[in-house]
Structure 1
Amino acid sequence: MRVLVVSDSHGDSISLRRAILAQPKAEVVIHLGDGEVEAQRLKASFPEKMFLQVRGNCDWGSELPVTGLWEFEGVKVFYTHGHAYGVKSGLYNAVCAAREQKAQVLLFGHTHRALTDYEEGLHIMNPGSLSGWQASYGTLDITSQGIVTNLIKLP
């Protein structure tokens, strides 16, 4: 299964649509916050895709949760925007939260800096920001052979 992972679209519906269209095999879209309005708007345009969302620090008045936990084929994915875990100062708190949930994958945004890493059984990915001149997103592939994270610059 392919998952499209996006964050920090900050009102840029066009870039979000481009990322979704660039990954037609993605069955799930996870938006990691700071883009609730455009994600909700585009959700109706792609009814065949499952959308999972959390709120970011710029999603004022949002009733979305701060964190999410999703499981597919025994793989637990913990996802958050990251501001509640201080990810701009380090990943320790977010990694601990993911490990408490017994997750194999941690997804976060907020920093606008793309990152993919693997640390003692935990795949870590920040897809970067969908807005701005260095826009990027990520893919998460969950298969019987394993887990693969990938970062992609939006053309």
Structure 2
Amino acid sequence: MRILVVSDTHRDSWSLQEAILRQPKAEVVIHLGDGADEAEMIKHKFPEKQFYMVRGNCDWSCNLPMEQIVTIEGKRIFFTHGYAQNVKYGLYQLKSEAREQGADVALFGHTHESMTDYEDGLYLMNPGSLHGMDATYGILDLTPAGIVTNIIRL
């Protein structure tokens, strides 16, 4: 199963829609915050896709949770915006929370810097920011052979 992972759209609904259109095989979209308004609007255009969202530090007056964990294809995915885990100063807190939740994957945003990593059974991904000249998003593929993470430039 393919999952589209986006973050930090910052009111750029065009880029969010474009990323979804470029990944027609993605059955799930996970938005990691700082764009709750446009994610809420866009999800109605794609009723065939499952959307999961958390709030970011710029999503004022938003009722979304700060973090979530979902199980898809037998893999536990922990996702958050990252500001509450202080990801701009390191990933220790994020990794600790994800491991406490028994996660296979930890997704976060906030830094606007894309990255993927694997450490002792935990996949990490920050899709970067889907806003601006260097917009990026992430793809998380859950396959029978394992988990694959990729960063794609819009």
User: Normalising to structure 1: TM-score of the pair?
Assistant: 0.99
Which residue in 1 is equivalent to 2:36? 36
**CA-to-aligned-CA distance 1:32-63 (integer Å, 9 cap, x gap):** 00000000000100000000000000000111
Partner in structure 1 of residue 50 of structure 2: 50
Residues 1:20 and 2:20 aligned together: yes
1-side partners of 2:73 and 2:18: how far apart? 28
| CA offsets 1:78-127 (integer angstroms, 9 cap, x no match) | 00000000000000000000000000000000000000000000000000
**Paired letter, 2:42:** L
Structure 2 distance, partners of 1:70, 1:141, is: 15
The answer to whether 1:112 aligns with 2:112 is yes
> Where does residue 7 of structure 1 map in the other structure?
7
1:6-155 to structure 2, matched below 5 A, reads 6-154=6-154
4+ long deviations beyond 4 Å? none
Q: Quick one: distance in 2 between partners of 1:134 and 1:74?
A: 33
Relative to the length of structure 2, the TM-score reads 0.99
Q: Which amino acid aligns with 2:140?
A: L
For structure 2, the residue ranges without an aligned partner over 5 or more in a row are none
The answer for unaligned runs of 5 or more in structure 1 is: none
Shift of 1:73: 2.2
What SS is found at the alignment partner of 1:113? coil
2: CA distance between counterparts of 1:71 and 1:144?
Answer: 15
* Whole-angstrom distance in 2 between the partners of 1:14 and 1:72: 27
| 1:40 counterpart letter in structure 2 | E
Q: Cα deviations across residues 120-146 of structure 1 (Å, max 9, x unaligned)? A: 000000000000111000000001110
State which drifts further: 68-77 or 94-103. 68-77
Aligned residues: 154
